[in-house]
Structure 1
Amino acid sequence: MSIDMIERTVRVNGLDLFVAETGEGPAVLLLHGGGPGASGISNFSRNIDELAQYFRVIVPDLPGYGRSSKGVDQNDPFGYLADSIRGLLDELGIDKAHLVGNSYGGACALRLALDTPHRVDHMILMGPGGVGTSRGLPTPGLQSLFGYYRGTGPSRDKLEAFIRDYLVFDGNSVSDDVIDLRYRSSIDPAVVAKPPLQRPSGRSALRTLWRMDFTRDKRLRSLQTPTLVVWGARDKVNRPSGGQMLVERMPHCDLLVISETGHWVQWERADQFNTITRSFLTT
């Protein structure tokens, strides 16, 4: 990581959000995914240094993850995340920023743009969550993710299976050290008590599920934010067909599908992703 990385905790809407920052230039927020043990720095470990040569790179741990406060409003999780990141922008004195979001972080970015489009410059979404999710059964990858804290509870074997079998195309490309680090983070007692990513349940489950499906949000068709959707062709967590759903509904949305790549595009195809990101955010 960069030797000039600044790490701090910012108080936002009653939450403590951990933030790492490096580089100079237009502000770019990197918003990580929602898998067990995820964090901003670990998810974007292969992107931060390269992007910091051109941008002010800001990497928060989303609420519920890493070194940020635990717990997420399960009645409207995407809205809760978006409100928190918007509050972070306020605290950092940033009126408008580029958003780069993977999976859960992509859902956060898209919801923030829909709620307050004037706060988002360009947006890159990598296999974002919440796209067509109410139109079929969860994917095997999502079932593995949702089941991590259920049944026998979290274990390193369960996490290794999720990462090697579902998160990436080539499971052997992920080192044991990466899995160990994420496992230690995933068993934080505060996280185990309140897992941040859960499948909606209870009497309001259907209403929550529909609220979390962006393809049912009519605001997509009028969203003017220039958007690039990047999807791994072999994504087993969020279906690649979601990319076409967004293109059909968003007026300024381009789609790039990358072969032999799973859900973790920015990590699996880091050099290509870094080049594409720099190009898209500077046009």
Structure 2
Amino acid sequence: MAKGSFATINGVKVHYHDEGQGPALVLLQGSGPGATGWSNYSRNITHFAATHRVICPDLPGFGKSDMKPTDAPIPGWWAGVIIGLLDALGIDKADFVGNSMGGMVTLKIALEKPERINRMVLMGPGGGAPVSSVFPTEGIKNLVGFYDGPGPSLDRLKSFTSQMVFNPAALTDDLLKERFEAAMDPRIVAQPPMRPGPGGMPEELWRDARLTRLPHQTLIIWGREDRVMPLDAGFTLMKQIPHARFLVMPQCGHWVQWEHADEFNRIVEGFLAP
């Protein structure tokens, strides 16, 4: 892992990686125990850094960043932090790639500060509404409840991560060890970032009428076998966002950028090309 940097945004210390040169590209991680910006995009950062200035933060509450306040609204508070990070880095406008919760944060930024986003790629993002699937899924329940009940363990992490991918055999011992060590950070154990707090449940962005007026070229990517955010949750977003394309990846779970990294990198590179 490359050495990261820190910026303080409204009193919150944010850890981020800043790699490459060129147009700014922000990669926003998903949630879940042990998630960090680098772990989510370890198979993508080097590729995109060849043509872009890649900014990949740890969302507060994850990795080496400060904690998210328990009463902070989701995803609005995170969106404000990321806008502040862009300001601190002197970036007026950037392309965005957001995975899961990171996709939801990207959508919130697009709604509140549309001028800060050029194009956006949303991978299995939160914020939509399943048309027919049961929700919350078992994957979401395990994500939110990882620190509850008997408490966190490596076995529970293995069970959770196996729901994130199509082929659990692809999960390496090193990946599981890295995520478990990150998940057991005492700060995070004491204050899990995805546990519903006084701020309530995540905002239902699909209800926001401004989605139908977003000007951004948008690529929505979904794993066909996603057991965390069901595929039909993307239908509402595809129908509402005027310039949205919808790509479904076969034999793929929730981590498109990890399970099919080479294809993902090629597709997104073409989408972001001038």
TM superposition score normalised by structure 1? 0.92
Counterpart Cα distance in 2 of 1:89 and 1:273: 25
Give the CA deviation at 1:225.
1.2
For 1:167, what is the secondary structure of its paired residue?
A: coil
Query: Does residue 46 of structure 2 align to residue 46 of structure 1?
Result: no
Counterpart Cα distance in 2 of 1:246 and 1:64: 27
Give the corresponding residue for 1:259.
250
Query: Does residue 159 of structure 2 align to residue 161 of structure 1?
Result: yes
Contact 1:72 1:80 (8 Å CA) reproduced: no
Cα RMSD after superposing both structures: 1.7
Give the corresponding residue for 2:65.
68
Contact 1:127 1:231 (8 Å CA) reproduced: yes
Contact 1:139 1:236 (8 Å CA) reproduced: yes
Give the corresponding residue for 1:145.
143
Give the corresponding residue for 2:120.
123
What does 1:241-252 align with in structure 2 at a 5 Å threshold?
241-252=232-243
Give the CA deviation at 1:79.
0.2
Task: Kindly provide the amino acid, as one letter, of the partner of residue 59 in structure 1.
Answer: C
What does 1:71-86 align with in structure 2 at a 5 Å threshold?
71-86=68-83
Contact 1:232 1:259 (8 Å CA) reproduced: yes
Counterpart Cα distance in 2 of 1:144 and 1:131: 20
Counterpart Cα distance in 2 of 1:169 and 1:114: 32
1:91-136 C-alpha deviation (Å, 9 max, x unpaired): 0000000110000111111101111000000000000012117996
Contact 2:147 2:189 (8 Å CA) reproduced: yes
What does 1:1-283 align with in structure 2 at a 5 Å threshold?
5=2, 7-132=4-129, 137-164=135-162, 166-198=163-195, 200=196, 205=200, 208-209=201-202, 212-283=203-274
Counterpart Cα distance in 2 of 1:73 and 1:252: 35
1:67-103 C-alpha deviation (Å, 9 max, x unpaired): 0001245451200110000000000000000110000
Counterpart Cα distance in 2 of 1:34 and 1:68: 14
Counterpart Cα distance in 1 of 2:130 and 2:192: 19
Counterpart Cα distance in 2 of 1:59 and 1:17: 11
1:3-51 C-alpha deviation (Å, 9 max, x unpaired): xx56211111110000111111100011111010100111101001111
Contact 1:12 1:84 (8 Å CA) reproduced: yes
For 1:255, what is the secondary structure of its paired residue?
A: strand
Counterpart Cα distance in 2 of 1:39 and 1:64: 9
Structure 1: 5+ residue stretches without partners: none
Poorly superposed stretches of 4+, deviation over 3 Å: 72-75, 133-137
For 1:77, what is the secondary structure of its paired residue?
A: coil
Counterpart Cα distance in 1 of 2:154 and 2:110: 36
Counterpart Cα distance in 2 of 1:12 and 1:86: 9
1:179-203 C-alpha deviation (Å, 9 max, x unpaired): 11101110111101110112x467x
Counterpart Cα distance in 2 of 1:267 and 1:163: 12
Contact 2:219 2:247 (8 Å CA) reproduced: yes
Decide which moves more: 215-224 or 74-83: 74-83
Counterpart Cα distance in 2 of 1:88 and 1:196: 19
For 1:49, what is the secondary structure of its paired residue?
A: helix
Contact 2:130 2:234 (8 Å CA) reproduced: no
For 1:185, what is the secondary structure of its paired residue?
A: helix
Contact 1:26 1:55 (8 Å CA) reproduced: yes
Give the CA deviation at 1:243.
1.8
For 2:55, what is the secondary structure of its paired residue?
A: strand
Counterpart Cα distance in 2 of 1:281 and 1:196: 31
Contact 1:134 1:213 (8 Å CA) reproduced: no
Counterpart Cα distance in 1 of 2:14 and 2:33: 18
Contact 2:9 2:81 (8 Å CA) reproduced: yes
For 2:234, what is the secondary structure of its paired residue?
A: helix
For 2:18, what is the secondary structure of its paired residue?
A: strand
